[in-house]
Amino acid sequence: MSYKFKPVSVVAVIVNVEDRYLIVEERLGNGLPIFNTPAGHMEHWENIIEGAKRELFEETGIVTDRFDGVVGLYNLVQDNYTMLRTVFALRLDSYPNLKIDDPDGDIVAHHWLTYEECERLKDSMRSELVFDAIRDYRDGRLFPINLITSYCKLSASVRKMADENLRKNSLPDNQK
């Protein structure tokens, strides 16, 4: 058996307001709903925190300059698939206005769910890692954000392109 090893790096954000969790509803090829926290694959040239901010904005319209910490690193290994999912936490004082600016077109709705409602949906979540992270957050698992150290070794011209791409894809129109 021959295959090329290509691990996948996913960033996700648990957004919590008044003990409710922001869940995005996706519709994929089979039309059945899949539930997830705001999440997605990292893009070329972005560090892990920039990727989480971008995914959060694309799937919810939330712009943040901070995360409260890292809930965990979740590693899924299957026969021909390896994923590392880094989950951040963001607790907000009030419910934000939400919008969808998902370039993939998979997000169809947002839901603010209690822990118990999330637990009832766990079999419909994108993977078991989603609910595990919600449970870990609820149980108080939170590492400091400085757990992550990013080394950016891009040339000046590539860094400029990366910054322009990040700015274009992660800020509301009135802030571009």
If you average pLDDT over residues 154-159, what whole number do you get?
75
Residue with tokens 């694309």: 58
pLDDT tier at 174, thresholds 50, 70, 90: very low
Percentage of the residues of the chain whose pLDDT score is greater than 70? 91
Q: Domain 8-170 belongs to what topology?
A: Nucleoside Triphosphate Pyrophosphohydrolase (3.90.79)
pLDDT range class, residue 171, cuts 50, 70, 90: low
Give the closest residue to 123 by CA, choosing from 3, 51, 60, 32: 32
Q: Are strands 39-41 and 20-27 parallel, antiparallel or unpaired?
A: unpaired
Q: Domain residues of the chain, as ranges?
A: 8-170
AA identity, residue 63: V
pLDDT at 115 over 80: yes
C-alpha to C-alpha distances, 142 to 72, 123, 134, nearest whole angstrom: 7, 24, 11
Q: What is the mean pLDDT of the chain?
A: 89
More confident residue, 167 or 81: 81
Contacts of 154 (CB under 8 A, 6+ apart): 45, 162
Global pTM reads 0.86
89-121 burial, b if ≥16 CB within 10 A, otherwise e? bbeeeeebeeeeebeeebbeebebbebeebeeb
